[in-house]
Chain A
């Protein structure tokens, strides 16, 4: 169990030394994760709200489908995106394979169903409460969706954080479509996988500790933001 002590030592030394390689990897991890979650929100929030409010044939099946896709195996998504972006694939001309953009695409696909599903639940509950009021005001479907999303914004932050957690922790998809190329597509999770395969277990665990720390910081930051926004809103 000496590895745990060594891991904390390694983690501390890396952070205290502002290790430039580590900073590069962290900033790419953040860039990929936040871009993916942003895209997933742009698609998932309206999609979830429409599923909650809309009444159209096939809605039930779609709700089940989106919910099931929350469990998409990252390695399968990685493989599918690889096949699409490969030079031999239909989108090969874009030359996106082994770039951060490819990683963003893969993670956005993974995160969108999570955000859409959680949004649907939140908005559906809220819709139950607001339905009569909105109806009496003769609100259109589009503005109903917009109103509900806006009023649910604090609860929806949790949906975004769930997506963020998935993206930040994910390794299978970004490994395949990014290629774990040093200085280009190496992120925290793929670096951890690489160090583990080198048998540098203490360093790998140290990186893992840093990743968990980052996740705590991001969550604390966003929740703090929500607290102060709520205070402002109700002040």
Chain B
């Protein structure tokens, strides 16, 4: 019953869509499953037109959390994966969903907080000490809580600091379950500390009296990787065009385009492709 009404809907929708027209450039496009941090920073708006002009291939970016991006790619709903959670990416490739993984670029995570700095951590470059101070002070901390790359990184940092914040969830530790920008909005709204990638922070337009309080710890390194979804696992995948895109991103030209992307005079991403796909 449900199936039948759905296919009825489908048929009508198809007819409706056709009659209203505007069919876009047929199949010369790929779908890239990627993260909110790269989209919110504006990187794709700068990068993709350059690639499209050169290759004639349109790139359609679906920006979700890394966890959801990987899940969508496992469902074969994308041709290329560009995310930032190395362990999960390698698992994705090892399980046969991806062809291989290559480093693309990096930036770093920072902790931002209100000018009042209730935990007294401003100027710190030691994230473990800073997190311990936040916990000790019971200062509000907003977490993504959405299984994204940033969220996984944040949990790893708590773990390294020997703290399990999950017991205080709903208290000083507040999981928003949303994207990076939405979480920043929530944090600024309630005066909470929050960890963000530097690119999203620089591009973010609703900073209030917030500033970076912790930065420069090696543990806050943020590596982005790119993966071709495996045509073996997903026969429909546009492997040729996907590979063309990956090759360009990793090429001298693509890497230069990433380095050239600036907001307020600051470089947001640092290309570090080694041309040798790892694993």
Binding site for B on A (CB under 8 A): 31, 35, 38-39, 42-43, 84, 86-89, 91-92, 94-98, 100-101, 104-105, 108-109, 179-182, 184, 194, 196-201
Contacts and interface: CB of A to CB of B under 8 A. Distances in A.
Contacts of B5: 43
A71 to B, nearest CB: 18
Contacts of A198: 40, 181, 203-205
A197 B9 contact: no
Nearest to B8: A43
A87 B181 contact: no
A39 to B, nearest CB: 5
A94 B10 contact: yes
Nearest to B75: A88
Interface of B: 5-6, 8-10, 12-14, 16-17, 20, 22, 24, 31, 36, 39-40, 44-45, 60-63, 72, 74-77, 178-182, 184-185, 203-207, 234, 236
Nearest to B237: A87
Nearest to A109: B9
Contacts of A38: 16
Contact of B60 (A35, A95, A100, A179): A179
Given A197-B179, A197-B185, 11 more contacts: A31-B22, A43-B5, A43-B9, A87-B77, A94-B10, A181-B60, A182-B44, A182-B45, A196-B181, A197-B36, A201-B185
A35 B17 contact: yes
B180 A199 contact: no
Contacts of B39: 194
Given A88-B76, A98-B77, A199-B205, A39 B181 contact: no
Contact of B16 (A39, A95, A98): A39
B204 A181 contact: no
Given A86-B75, A196-B185, A199-B181, A108 B13 contact: yes
5 contacts: A39-B13, A179-B60, A184-B24, A199-B205, A201-B206
